[in-house]
Structure 1
Amino acid sequence: MTQSLPLAIIAGSGSGLGCTLLSHFEKNGYKVIGLNRSLPSTTDFDIRVVDLTDEKATKVVIDTLIKEHGAPKVVVHNTAQLEIKPLADTTCNDFEACWQSMALSAFILAKSLMKPMVDNGGGTFIVSGATASLRGSANFSAFSSAKFALRGLTQSLAREFQPQGVHVVHSILDGIIDTDNSRSLHSLDPNKMMKPEDIADVYFSLCQQAKSTWTHECDLRPFDGNF
């Protein structure tokens, strides 16, 4: 183990919010490592390719990271799989894939990292939620049910591990994140989208909170968002 900087692990470190989180935490004094199903097309970060729904593969990667750098002080679970279909067109595979991508991967990540974080004096574990964490809209049966499950899992983790020193946060991202992909799919004014840099700034501030005033759940949205 050679680490001198605190470690931040970003699970779901694609080219949008994920890589922005890596950049933000690196600029603020962290050793950053991403976990992703595939490598982004362009990146200068250390990203380990792993299927986070595979418990054995994830444990191998996590054990290696802890051996190399020590237990993380920050973990962000930022994986998602968006399915927008009428119920009649949603297959069992669609439904299960959403659950695996979000709820199962968070369960496996927490199971791999909570004990090492507790043993290392604690840290912060942030889970990225969405509008669908609170409201099941039409055509979102697979996605919303998975986000609801993810929120419940995060609450359970908070009640088990916050007394042991791990600050567990569920962050509801109630809006469209401004990325190249979202601009190609939506006709929204980019000025009314959520800026990845601003989300990253909030996530970093959550990691700095005093233990007497920990936030468990926060909701972030553009200034003119409907809620």
Structure 2
Amino acid sequence: MSDDKPLVLVAGAGAGLGQALLSRFTKDGFAAVGLGRTQPETVIGQFFEMDLTDESAVPSILAQVIAEHGPPKVVIHNTSELIIAPFAETRLADYQRTWGSMVQSAILLAQSTLQPMVRAGGGTFIVSGATASLRGGTRFSAFASAKFALRGLTQSLAREYQPAGVHVCHAILDGIIDTARSRDLHNLDPGKMMKPEDIAEAYWGLAHQPKSTWTHELDLRPASEGF
């Protein structure tokens, strides 16, 4: 191992929330490793540019990371693939892409990290969900179907691994995250958007809950958001 710092591993560590998560954990002494399809301009810690649905590459790279840093103390699954289209215009390939990006990647991440975390004495595994984790909206059939599946997967993992000492939790992000891309796309008042650093602070809290009061599902939204 390269040092004695605990490891935080973020899958989907792009600009915005992914890098904000790595920043928050490194602030308090964690070693940071990010995984993603495209490396952001500013990188915190190590970054591996990779296809997170690749069933041969993901275990191989994570085995290298664990060999260098030891088993992760915190793992965050933060990948997303947003397709908005009428059902009649949504192709099977669109569903496969969303399911792969969000569900298959979570399976590969969990298979590569949960057992090492158990052997190391535990840790926290957080999955980023969305409004679509709870309800499917018009033109969101691909996205919602994957988010529903991801929520179910997370529940199953929690029931299996919580007794072994791994805190598995699902965070529903009910709002638009404030990034340069989302500002251009949605033209919203930034005051009504979710700040990546504030979400990261909530995830930090989840990762440091005492075992007597573990949260499995947390929903976060701006004060102005209806629900």
Q: Indicate the TM-score class for this superposition, using the shorter chain for normalisation.
A: over 0.9
Determine the structure 2 residue equivalent to 1:141.
141
Aligned residues of 2:22 and 2:44 also touching (Cα < 8 A)? no
Q: CA RMSD in A?
A: 0.8
Determine the structure 1 residue equivalent to 2:200.
200
Aligned residues of 2:102 and 2:150 also touching (Cα < 8 A)? yes
Determine the structure 2 residue equivalent to 1:12.
12
Distance 1:89 1:200 in 2: 36
Determine the structure 1 residue equivalent to 2:72.
72
Aligned residues of 2:19 and 2:44 also touching (Cα < 8 A)? no
In structure 2, what residue type is equivalent to 1:38? Answer: T
Determine the structure 1 residue equivalent to 2:42.
42
Distance 1:42 1:120 in 2: 31
Structure 1 residue 187: deviation in Å?
2.1
Q: Verify: 1:161 aligned to 2:161, yes or no.
A: yes
| Cα deviation 1:99-140 (Å, max 9, x = unaligned) | 000011001100111100000000000000000000100000
Distance 1:43 1:123 in 2: 24
Within a 5 Å distance, the mapping from 1:109-124 to structure 2 comes to 109-124=109-124
Equivalent position SS for 1:32? strand
Structure 1 residue 29: deviation in Å?
1.1
Q: What is the number of equivalent residue pairs in this alignment?
A: 227
% identity of equivalent residues? 60
Distance 1:41 1:87 in 2: 35
Distance 1:45 1:182 in 2: 25
Gaps of 5+ in 2: none
Q: Verify: 1:221 aligned to 2:221, yes or no.
A: yes
Distance 1:167 1:42 in 2: 30
Structure 1 residue 44: deviation in Å?
4.4
Gaps of 5+ in 1: none
Aligned residues of 1:20 and 1:197 also touching (Cα < 8 A)? yes
| Cα deviation 1:163-213 (Å, max 9, x = unaligned) | 000000100000000000000011211011000000000000111100000
TM-score (norm 1): 0.98
Structure 1 residue 37: deviation in Å?
1.3
Equivalent position SS for 2:132? helix
In structure 1, what residue type is equivalent to 2:165? Answer: G
Distance 2:59 2:97 in 1: 20
Aligned residues of 2:77 and 2:127 also touching (Cα < 8 A)? yes
Determine the structure 2 residue equivalent to 1:173.
173
In structure 2, what residue type is equivalent to 1:151? Answer: R
Distance 1:49 1:57 in 2: 11
Aligned residues of 1:102 and 1:146 also touching (Cα < 8 A)? yes
Determine the structure 1 residue equivalent to 2:82.
82
